[in-house]
Every structure is written in C-alpha cells, then in structure tokens.
Structure 1
C-alpha cells in the first residue's frame, strides 16, 4: 500500500517536471538522459549504494557520457560532476552561484534556519556563532568532560562483556556525548525520551517524503516536533540559569550561543536559529563520529601492523598519566598517528558518499550550461579512490597523511574543503581520539561476523552492525 501511494504521488508531479525540463531544453545541456520524470536514476543509484557498488555506477556513467552528465535524482533534474575540479567548484562557489541543497525530509525535520540551508551573510553569521563553541581554543576546556563521559560508556557497555556489536554502541556513545556537551542534558528520563525520538527522526530523515500515517516520514515529523520542543525548553532553562548566574556561559553549546551578542548588543541568533542549528549539529555529529569509530575498529582488526602502532602511541600516553587522571588537550596533540588512521579510514569509507548543491542562476561548467534551479551532485569517493591521487587506493596506508600538505587540494573532502569545511571537525577529532585511546588501552578484539563487508543505506553500515569478540586488559 505504501509503495502504491508513493507511485501515484510521484506520478502527479510528472506534468510539472516535463514543463520545467522542456523549458530548459538546450543543446548546451550536459549529455545524458533525465530518465523517467521525478524517479529518473534514483533507484539505480540507491541499489548501487546498497550493494556497495556506487563508485562503479558513477564510473560507468563517466565512461558513457564524460565527466559532466545530466540525470534525475530524488525528484529533480541533476548534473553529476565528479573529480578534483568539481570539488573545488562546489566548495569555493558562493551563494550567488550555488546554494546548499538538502533533501526535502532534511529540510522539514531539521528546520530551514540551519547552517546547511543558509547562504551569504546569514550563513557567515551563524557559522561564526557556532565556531565560538566549536573552535579548538574553546573545545580545549571540554576534553576532560568528554573523557569522563567516554570512560563511563566503556564501563557500562563494554566492561565484562565477551561480545559486543560496535555500531549501535558507538551511536550510543556519540549520542551521550552530544547530550552532555551540547545540551548539558544528564542521564535520566528526559535523555531516554530524547534517544527514542531521535531514532525516529533519523529514520524519517532517510525516507521517502510521503506524510501519511504510519510512514517513517510521518513518525519522523512528529519526533522532530517533540525534540524541538524539548530543545526550546532547555534553552529557556539555560537562559534563566544564566540570569541567576547558576551556570557558566561556557558550560555547553546552548549557554555559549545564549551569551553571544552582535555589535548592537542584541542576541546574535534568534531562538528559532538556535533550535535549528542545535538539531543540525546533533544530527551531523551523531552519524559521522559513530561511523568513523566503527570502521576504525574494523580496519584495526584487519591490520595488525597499524594496530600495533596505534597501541604503542596510546600506551605511551597512558604511562605518562597518574591513575585516574583525565586526558588533556596536550595528550591529544601526541595522538598524531591515531589521527592519521582516522583520516585514512575516512578516505576509504567517507560517511557521506557525496552531496548536493542547487544552482542560484544559470551556470557554466565544463563547457556546458547547468540551468538555474538544477541540482549538482558531487561525489567524495571519486577523488578518494583515484589511484593517480592516492596510489593503491584500496590499500589502508595511514602514512599518506603524514604530510597533509602533500595531498593535492580539493582531493580529500571527508570534512568538506575551503570555506565550507565542516565546523564540527575539531569536535569529531577530540571524540574519536579519546574513544580510541580507551578502546585500545582497555580491550583487545577480533571480528566474529561471517561477512565483514558493508553496504550504504545512504550512510555506510557494516554487516550485522560489526559484531566483535572482546577481552579486557589488566590495566591496574
């Protein structure tokens, strides 16, 4: 019944789609076929991602049509532009040329005033506000708090176990860190409600946007509304606590945003902008960090040489600490090899396979016209796995990042690039390094699943969530 409704919903858009695409017909359009209106090549790409053959799907299109081609993805006429030049075009173009383009579910569930949906002065203003909390100088003071949260996680979910499933546990870890450092929301009934609603919202975010009862999208909308109300309540509580001087302006992200003022002394962000951008950071941090840590566990299990180097680096840091002493920013600066392992993991398995932008005007690219309002689809893996950029690209070699300046610009885009680099980069780095420190110094593990491959349900997902057998070390 659900797919029947979806079919007729998409069918109803066909006349509009035909009018829009015919109006823009031109010999200067890129080669390729738009396919069936609205649906186009969406199902083929999703099938390839599910089978983990999306790179080949892209390569086949490039062989057939060249480096610039048109198609239809997720309801909109689209131009595919993989490669280094394409990445540079995507990440350096201003809002007069390209706008961020998110899927309809993301726009509805996360709100329209978040960083991804803004451009120009609004984008600059809100990015600047978020960076007051996310820049390295500000995050230094939160390393100890994150260390305590991660220690508690391993004690509660890993200690005493013989077998665990990594991905759901890493998602739990990321969620708890988000609650603690972004909201100051401690463990309890409210956090438990939050995690249920958050899961429903995430399911809705990666669903077909059909708002009918019992659909994932409908559940996602209702869950998003509950989360927004909770975040609004927390903002009000923090504002009152700040007025009474019961909390520090730097206690968490919310208190930080509440204390930022513009040049005229008024609040730099509206309450709506606070809610939408808190939800964006919460969602982005939840997926990317948990995926990175999960696949680091997988890759370390398969590479004893790299594992031994990470272990030595982390044990040397442990030996320099007094019993029970929390990690510091200085400790993180010594984890250089571990972070190279993380960067190489993200090169091979980036959480985001690619992304979309929408043209703000008619755009010239590669000798072709991309009409105003069309989507542009860029792909990370087409440079990450290019052997002319990264020799033997399928081989796991953390040493590639020993000198990051040697990597050609706009070829490594796991965190974006240029002025559009991810503002949460440093937050993810701290979380990953602290988690891996405790994992390798407290446990040994080996993979126990029969199939250790992964698929992309938009984001990479290891088979069965990556079950492992673990043994706890004697760390007295």
Structure 2
C-alpha cells in the first residue's frame, strides 16, 4: 500500500506537467496520450525497427481519422499527414510553428542548430551554410569528391569478392564530409570522430532516460566528445584565419562560418552555433547519402527478382555512365558538366528516395493555439509529420510499390509538397546539391567498374533511418578494361 502511494505521488506531478496546456474542448483531435513519459514512443520505435511503422500509422488513421493525438518522447503530440499537412509544416512562419525536435535529438545535436533556430537566427546560419553548399561553390569540389571516391574504391572494393555495402557507404560519406566540409585530415582524430559519431547516432530517436548503460546515455557521452573535438577544430581554423594562412574563406564549412561577418566586421555566427550546425551537417550528410547510395546498390543489383523488374533501369543507367566513362582519358577526374549529363541516373536516385526516404518524419511545436482541419492544436504541443505518407499515396504516385524512374521525367507533374525527401519550401535541406553530386560520383564509379549480386534478403528496419538488417552484403566482380 505504501509503495503504491509513493509511486502515485511520483507519477501524478509528472502526468500533470506533461498534460499541461491540454484543453477540455471537444475540438482537440481524437486519440489518447497514453501513460505518462512513455506514451506511444515504444510502440512507434518497435514498429520502425520491424519495418511496420507505416502500417502502425495507417491503423491510427483508420481508427481516429486524418488527425489524431498521441504522446511521443515525453510530449503531447498531434499526428498529421498528406500534401496539405506537408505544406502547412514547411510554409508556416515562426509565429505559428517553431522548430522543435525530440528531447533526445535536441540534446545530441544542440539547441542552436538549424532544426531549432527560427527567424533571423535561422536565416543567418542557413545563409552561411548555403554559401558553402550552393551549386556555384560546389563546382570547385567535384574533383576532390571524385578523388575521395577513387581512394575509397581502391582501398575497400578492388580485389574483393564480397563486401557489405552499407558500412562501406557510411565510411565513404563520412570521409567525404571530413575532407570537403571540415578539412579534417585522415588519421587518429578522424577515426575517433567516426567512433563517437556512430555511437551518437544510435540514440537519436531514443527515450530520453539518462541512466548509465542506456543508449541515450552512451549517445550523450559521444556527443560531448564530438563537441570538444569540433571546438578544437574551430580554434585551429580561427588561428589560421588570423594568420592569413587560409587564403580561401570557403575552403571548408567551418572556415566559411567563421568568416561570416556583419557590416561592422563582427562574427555573426556564435561558436556554439558553429558546433551545433557542424554536428547537424555531419549527421544529415552522412546518413542520408550513405542510405540513398546503399539502396541504389540494392536496386541495381543483378539479383534475379530485382533484375527482372528493373532491366530497363539497368540498361539506361549503365549506358549513360559508360558513355561518360568512355569519353574521358583514363584517370581524368569527373567534371561538373559531366555530372549534368547524368539525368537518368539522378531520376533513378529520386525514385529510390521516394521508396526509401532516409528521413522518416519530423517534429514542429505549436507556438500558439492552432486551428487545423477542424480541430484545435493546443499551444506547446508537438506536431508530427511523416514523409512516406505522400510518397506511397497512389493518387499522387500510381502503383507506388513499382520502381519507376520515369515518374521524374517531368517534375512539374508532381504536385508541390508531395515528394519531400529533402523537405520543402523555405525549410528545404541546404545540402540537397551536395547529396546529388556525392551520389552521382559514387554511382558512376561503381557501375562502370563493377557488377554485383545480392547475398542476403533485402529486409530493412528504421533505427531511425532505413538500414538493411545485414548491412547489404553483395558479391562483386570487377569489370575488365576499366577506363574510368
């Protein structure tokens, strides 16, 4: 009896805190907030890891309708979906919605990254990142990226009979980020950064219970290690800027952000904002690109059941890449103009993104009471939206389970805010063009130098991003007389 009383006295204040702001109005969306703290978080995470999250959400839709309430990661939440929901999320100004990630994401990435900033703060940081990642700037880095891919293939692919695609693509994309975005040389520091980064990523969508030996606790410790290392990089690059050793302020992202000045020649981005956004760019650039390329490898595999379905895709994609490879002197690096010719290959990548979007969904916070679709979303509540809900809508993409790159031949035919692997509107991911270049360069070298077959089933889970459960092992054969 005493134990029950003590537990009750502990839970009641927490429940009142979590439900603070709930209205008694019948216009609040239908659904249940579940038990305090836990809510529906474990149900969602289990469904994601079993690759049944979309089914779980469809069951909610069938039960409650197009908008419903639940509790995720310790906060009352409203789930919305569809084209109009996407537009609402991506176009609402900061007086309506604010960026608000889950507690675990905010603790790991920081509260001054783009996912959290609004208004002029958001614009200032986004402009600095965009200056480095815009197409005109990236043209200069195609050759460097090509060199990184060549080194990677020589080290990890050539002479091998079997490889695991996913861990190799994670290694490649991390090395590209370290070299191009942050100017971090190969060596012990980069290897330690990789270890910390992988540990941090595992706790991105976890229940924020900071007890020893929990996934969340391990991720927090890894994040602290990364922050200390990034602070050291900032000190080194600031010193070089002061000594005029860095002749090009845009030589890497950290230097570019340090070089951002206002009309009075004062730094416009704080050191914490640089650290938080460096970690954000590492996370976004590493996982999204590596997952896209991994699923491209899976879809282009010479495994019979896949090959029969996408024979035409293979023919066009391989022909396009081999034509470019055969037109170049052996060993010559790819150019921006050659990437522009890879139109069909990028359509294949877009269709891969439609079917396997790296980002499952996201969160916003209601800054005030919001009227939406006939219901009230109370101030302070989370809003949860999901990418796949429009990507697999057969009224938008006919036969959504069919792999068909021709969907993207005419981009105008796709309604706005329906294809959103990189977000939309003013919240469009600034790394979109970087990911496109990285993907095209990597696929060019793989399809012109190797053929491959799957060695395991293609089952994947979301944790929180889609990953083949066995790392996508493939058997590879190097093509003779490679000219690239």
User: 1:432 & 1:106 partners in 2: Cα distance?
Assistant: 26
Residues 14 and 38 of structure 1 are in contact (CA less than 8 Å); yes or no, is this contact kept in structure 2?
A: no
Residues 97 and 363 of structure 1 are in contact (CA less than 8 Å); yes or no, is this contact kept in structure 2?
A: yes
User: 1:34 & 1:220 partners in 2: Cα distance?
Assistant: 27
Residues 80 and 325 of structure 1: CA distance in aligned 2, closer, same or farther (over 3 Å): same
1:99 alignment partner, SS class = strand
Residue 4 of structure 1: aligned partner: none
1:2-401 paired onto structure 2 within 5 Å? 12=10, 14-18=12-16, 20-21=18-19, 23-247=22-246, 248-301=248-301, 302=306, 303-401=310-408
Residue 423 of structure 2: aligned partner: 416
User: 2:164 & 2:263 partners in 1: Cα distance?
Assistant: 50
User: 1:305 & 1:166 partners in 2: Cα distance?
Assistant: 23
Residues 450 and 476 of structure 2 are in contact (CA less than 8 Å); yes or no, is this contact kept in structure 1?
A: yes
CA drift of 1:432 comes to: 0.5
User: 2:441 & 2:10 partners in 1: Cα distance?
Assistant: 51
Residues 54 and 213 of structure 1: CA distance in aligned 2, closer, same or farther (over 3 Å): closer
CA drift of 1:13 comes to: 5.3
User: 1:283 & 1:155 partners in 2: Cα distance?
Assistant: 25
Residues 355 and 377 of structure 1 are in contact (CA less than 8 Å); yes or no, is this contact kept in structure 2?
A: yes
Residues 13 and 38 of structure 1 are in contact (CA less than 8 Å); yes or no, is this contact kept in structure 2?
A: no
Residues 277 and 14 of structure 1: CA distance in aligned 2, closer, same or farther (over 3 Å): farther
CA drift of 1:263 comes to: 2.2
Residues 383 and 411 of structure 1 are in contact (CA less than 8 Å); yes or no, is this contact kept in structure 2?
A: yes
CA drift of 1:29 comes to: 0.4
CA drift of 1:94 comes to: 1.0
1:72 alignment partner, SS class = strand
Q: Which runs of 5+ in 2 are unaligned?
A: 1-5
User: 2:385 & 2:397 partners in 1: Cα distance?
Assistant: 19
Residues 243 and 270 of structure 1: CA distance in aligned 2, closer, same or farther (over 3 Å): same
Aligned CA RMSD, in angstroms, stands at 1.7
Counterpart check, 1:438 vs 2:441? no
Counterpart check, 1:425 vs 2:432? yes
Per-residue deviation, residues 251-310 of structure 1 (Å, max 9, x unmatched): 111121122211222112111111111111011111101110000111112223212211
User: 1:116 & 1:347 partners in 2: Cα distance?
Assistant: 22
1:79 alignment partner, SS class = strand
User: 1:177 & 1:405 partners in 2: Cα distance?
Assistant: 32
Task: Pick from 441, 446, 463 the counterpart of residue 457 of structure 1.
Answer: 463
Residues 204 and 464 of structure 2 are in contact (CA less than 8 Å); yes or no, is this contact kept in structure 1?
A: no
2:466 alignment partner, SS class = strand
Residues 406 and 307 of structure 1: CA distance in aligned 2, closer, same or farther (over 3 Å): same
CA drift of 1:244 comes to: 2.7
Residue 3 of structure 1: aligned partner: none
User: 1:329 & 1:245 partners in 2: Cα distance?
Assistant: 30
CA drift of 1:243 comes to: 2.8
User: 1:286 & 1:13 partners in 2: Cα distance?
Assistant: 40
CA drift of 1:323 comes to: 1.5
Aligned residues: 468
Residues 353 and 379 of structure 1 are in contact (CA less than 8 Å); yes or no, is this contact kept in structure 2?
A: yes
2:186 alignment partner, SS class = coil
CA drift of 1:437 comes to: 0.5
User: 1:136 & 1:62 partners in 2: Cα distance?
Assistant: 40
Residues 202 and 463 of structure 2 are in contact (CA less than 8 Å); yes or no, is this contact kept in structure 1?
A: no
